[in-house]
Amino acid sequence: MFWVIAVVSVPAALGMIFARKAVYCALLLAVVMLSLATAYAVLEAPFLAFVQVIVYTGAVLMLFLFVIMLVGVSSTDSLVETIRGQRLWAGIAGLGFIVLLILGLGQATLPAARGLAGANRDGNVQGLAALVFTKYVFAFEVTSALLITAALGAMVLAHRERTSPKPTQKELSRRRFESGRHPAPLPGPGTYARHNAVDMPALLPDGSVSELSVNPVIGGRPELNRSLHTDLEGETERDAVADDVAAVRAATVRGEAEPRPGTDARSGGPSGAKEDGRK
Amino acid sequence: MNYVILSAILFTIGALGVLIRRNAIVVFMCVELMLNAANLAFVSFARMSGNLDGQVIAFFVMVVAAAEVVVGLAIIMTIFRSRRSSSVDDANLLKY
């Protein structure tokens, strides 16, 4: 069991310090923490194994991932050393440290493991609780002060002082109209006869294409869109739109030649007219 | 005994990460790794000595680590908000 844990956790920890993306680091840290939870379970500490999974992999790593997402996933470490030879010397220092630790541990006369069968006689949780509430009760009380301080500190640090009064709804709407840009919600994509995909632009009532209706990230990738829309028969979606607009134009011109009540009875608005035009 | 050496190795990897990484969040994760390695040593020493004191200490270390993560990440967020960077090289205002 030990070798399984070691073989999983050491490469994951190494990968953590060499992975350039912060998200990979967080996920590899999750691997290390889960393997350490296994190690606790093997070392007769079932309560700590569960706390490790719940607190570390559950809460702390999710917090890390949240902050990574807030700070920016794309931020990777630069490879430029600000201090010359820093990595080399860090490696030498790490090597020296590990040699020192292992030599020290080798020199120490450690007793053979006695096992926790006696201490865990009434159950691991009961044994821990007996210690926490008798011998370590002061540390336990101080922990509560620490937790309150941490919560307060996080609130103070995350708080942003408001420098201007909160805008009222009236001011917000006035600002929206004064800017002169599109005060209404943007038109939705795909309100269009043949396709309702998000990358198909909406048609305006006059038959032109509304660029505002397509997310610029999606609309800016025509090479991707062509492979997605097999039903367009090789056309780009702009060509398809142009064809349909031409069809609509033809239909409406024909419609105008007819007597007026006939077009009104079709009751379609633009989409009904368009479908008729394609037939 | 094996587990103590594993914890020494993990601690060293964490310390190396703190030394060579530049992203504040990753440095923080390496600190977490060091705390976890210390916890592993505590738990294996508890098993060696046959009482639960080491496990209680490991439990307290976990509490302290959780509090530390909350405050530390809030600090990183504040720094990022004011300077748009999470690199530890940029936070050098106290130097001058």
Instruction: Tell me what ipTM this predicted complex has.
Output: 0.90
Using CA atoms of B66, B70, B72, B74 in order, give the dihedral in degrees to the nearest 10: 170
Position A70 scores a pLDDT of: 83
Q: Chain A: give the shortest CA distance to residue B90, in Å.
A: 11
Nearest chain B Cα to A68, which residue?
B25
Which three-class secondary structure state does DSSP give residue A76? strand
Position A257 scores a pLDDT of: 54
> Nearest Cα to A28, choosing from A14, A38, A39?
A14
Segment 122-181 of chain A within 8 Å of chain B by CB: 124, 127-128, 131-132, 135-136, 139, 143, 146-147, 149-151, 153-154, 157-158, 160
Position A139 scores a pLDDT of: 92
* Residue-wise pLDDT tens digits, A6-32: 999 999 999 988 888 888 999 999 999
Identify any residues that bridge with A21 across adjacent strands, giving them in sequence order: A76
Query: DSSP labels for A145-195?
Result: HHHHHHHHHHHHHH-----SPPPPHHHHHHHHHHT-S--SPPPPTT-SSS-
Q: Do A158 and B77 touch (CB under 8 A)?
A: yes
Which of B2, B4, B5, B12 is the best substitution to test chain A (most A C-beta atoms within 10 A)? B12
Nearest chain B Cα to A82, which residue?
B89
Q: Distance between CA atoms of B29 and B40, rounded to whole angstroms?
A: 17
Nearest chain A Cα to B86, which residue?
A71
DSSP state of A59: I
Nearest to B23 among A77, A136, A154 (CB): A77
Q: Do B62 and A56 touch (CB under 8 A)?
A: yes
HSE of A138 in the Cβ direction (CA atoms, 13 Å)?
A: 1
> Nearest Cα to A274, choosing from A253, A247, A256?
A247
Residue A4 has pLDDT above 80, yes or no: yes
Nearest chain A Cα to B15, which residue?
A94
**A58 interface with B at CB cutoff 8 Å:** no
> Nearest Cα to A9, choosing from B18, B19, B40?
B40
Segment 31-70 of chain B within 8 Å of chain A by CB: 32-33, 36, 39-40, 43-44, 46-53, 55-56, 58-60, 62-70
Q: Mean pLDDT in chain A?
A: 78
A-B contacts at Cβ under 8 angstroms: 220
Dihedral (CA of B40, B45, B50, B56) sign: negative
Q: Do A147 and B48 touch (CB under 8 A)?
A: no
**A43 interface with B at CB cutoff 8 Å:** yes
Identify any residues that bridge with A209 across adjacent strands, giving them in sequence order: A203
Sequence-ordered list of residues with C-beta below 8 angstroms from that of A232, at least 6 positions apart, any chain: A195, A226, A239, A240
Report the predicted TM-score, pTM, of the whole model to 2 decimal places: 0.70
Query: In which band, very low, low, confident or very high, does the pLDDT at A273 lie, cut at 50, 70 and 90?
Result: very low
Which of B2, B4, B10 is the best substitution to test chain A (most A C-beta atoms within 10 A)? B10
CB B54 within 8 A of CB B45: yes
Dihedral (CA of A251, A256, A259, A262) sign: positive
Q: Which residues in chain B touch residue A53, judged by CB atoms under 8 angstroms apart?
A: none
| Range picked from A37-41, A117-121, A197-201, A246-250 for highest mean pLDDT | A37-41
Query: Hey, what are A268's tokens?
Result: 């379609």
DSSP state of A21: B
What is the mean predicted confidence (pLDDT) over A146-152?
A: 93
Between helix A2-18 and helix A22-42 the angle, nearest 10°, is 160
* CA A276 from centroid of its chain's CA atoms: 45
